[in-house]
Amino acid sequence: MSSTKRSPWITLSALLIYFFLYAPIVVLIVFAFNSSKTNIVFEGVVNQGACGPFYWFCKLFSNDDVLDAAKNTLTIAFISTIVSAIIGTMAALALQRYDFPVKRASEAALYIPIVIPEIVMGIGILVFFSALFTWFNSTFGLVGDGRLAMGLGTVIVSHIAFSIPFVTLVVRARLHGFDKSLEEAAMDLGANEFTTFRRVTFPLIAPGVLSGALLAFTLSLDDFIITFFTTGPGSTTLPIYVYGLLRRIVTPEVNALSTIWILTVLIVVFISQRLEARR
């Protein structure tokens, strides 16, 4: 489609929709500087303590719960991204390059997480882990803190599960146009299978793996439903923490947190776009 003269109505509605998309974010950021603790009406810019208008930001950083949640969120996101990027890339290679007995079944299984509601997968995993842990703890007579229970481990394992299909999808798209004669050329020139993968295949599909990993990272950071059903004491993530706050009293600390979140994500995305543009 090329650019042609547009009707002013299209432009106007586009502007309104952009406004709709950004209004909540602007509100969030503005209220991070609210002087009212109840955060219902904007009562002017806060100017309190050593931090002045950044009072809520300072308060946030002295809040151990928030810092723990942030640490958990990042730990989960990093580990699940790395693991799912590796497994997903392997799956993409298998599905794009090879013929094997369970191929169609594997492809179907990889589509399921995309076409069923997340809550179905979430409670499935919950049912599975609680049954597994109950059985395991009673069979091996584990008691007290030694018992297996929901926690960081279950969240990470579950995040990997829903990230794999997305990584596979992205990497497969990249592999789709891959010129196999490049690999043959490498082998012809004396590289064995491993060296061929390291020196030729991987560098060429790396951008695909990277965007797959970025997608997995975003999904993990943003995930609420699966985390909600697989989390346990001590593995609260930021989305779960904010959800908990919403049910009690919400102070502008949450807005400060959101502001930092948005800015961090924007910086990360900006840098990655820059890197992408350079290659």
Partner 1 sequence: MAEYAVELRDISKRFPGPSGELVTAVRNVTMQIRDGEFFSMLGPSGCGKTTSLRMIAGFELPTEGEVYIHGKPMGKTPPFQRPVNTVFQNYALFPHMTIGENVAFGLQMDGVPKSEIMARVKQALEMVRLPGYEKRRARQLSGGQQQRVALARSLVKRPEVLLLDEPLGALDLKLRKDMQLELKKLQREVGITFIYVTHDQEEALTMSDRIAVMSGGVTLQVGNANEIYERPNCKFVADFIGETNFLQGKVTEQNGKAVTLALAGGLTVHAEAEQSLANGTEASVAVRPEKVNLTGHAGAANQFTGRIVSVVYIGTDTYYGVRLPGDQLLRAREQNDRPDSRPMAAEGDEVTISFSTQAARVLTE
Partner 2 sequence: MIQTLRENKKLQGLLLILPTLLWMFGLLIIPLILTFVTSFGGRSADGNVIYRFSLNNYLRLIGLTPEGGFDPLYLQIIWRSLTLAFQTTILVILMAYPLAYFIARAPAKRRNTLLFLVLVPLWTNFVIRIYAWIMILRTQGVLNSVIGWLVGLAGGHFQPFELYPSQSAVLIGMVYEFLPFMILPIYTSLEKIDNSLFEAAADLGANALRTFWRVTLPLSMPGVVAGTILVFVPVIGTFIVSDILGGRQVILVGNLIQRQFLDARDPAFGSAASIFLMLMTLIVTLYYTRRFGFGEEIAAA
Whole-Å CA distances, 276 to 116, 168, 206, 245 = 32, 20, 11, 38
Q: Which two structure tokens, joined as six digits, stand for 174?
A: 């990249």
Tell me, residue by residue from 150 to 189, as one string, x for binding to partner 1 by CB under 8 A and - for no binding: -----------------------------x-xx-xxxxxx
Collapsing DSSP states into helix, strand and coil, what is residue 62? coil
Interacting positions 182-241 with partner 2 (CB under 8 A):
193, 218, 221-222, 224-225, 228-229, 238-239
Q: Which is nearer to partner 2, 65 or 193 (CB)?
A: 193
- Residue from 67, 116, 185, 271 binding partner 2 (CB under 8 A): 116
- Residue from 11, 195, 264, 272 binding partner 1 (CB under 8 A): 195
Among the residues of the chain, which ranges form H helices?
8-31, 55-61, 64-97, 103-115, 118-139, 152-176, 180-188, 193-196, 202-222, 225-230, 238-247, 252-278
Residue for token digits 């309190």? 48
Whole-Å CA distances, 22 to 14, 16, 156, 163, 267 = 12, 10, 31, 27, 17
With binding defined as CB under 8 A, does residue 67 bind partner 2?
no
CB of 42 to partner 2, least distance (A): 8
Instruction: Find which of partner 2, partner 1, none residue 28 binds, CB within 5 to 8 Å per kind.
Output: partner 2
Q: Which is nearer to partner 1, 13 or 192 (CB)?
A: 192
CA angle, 264 then 113 then 220, to 5°: 15
**Dihedrals phi, psi of 48, to nearest 5 degrees:** -140, 140
Instruction: Find which of partner 1, partner 2, none residue 123 binds, CB within 5 to 8 Å per kind.
Output: partner 2
CB of 87 to partner 2, least distance (A): 5
With binding defined as CB under 8 A, does residue 127 bind partner 2?
yes
Give me the residues that bind partner 1 (CB under 8 A), please: 179, 181-182, 184-192, 195, 199-200, 203-204
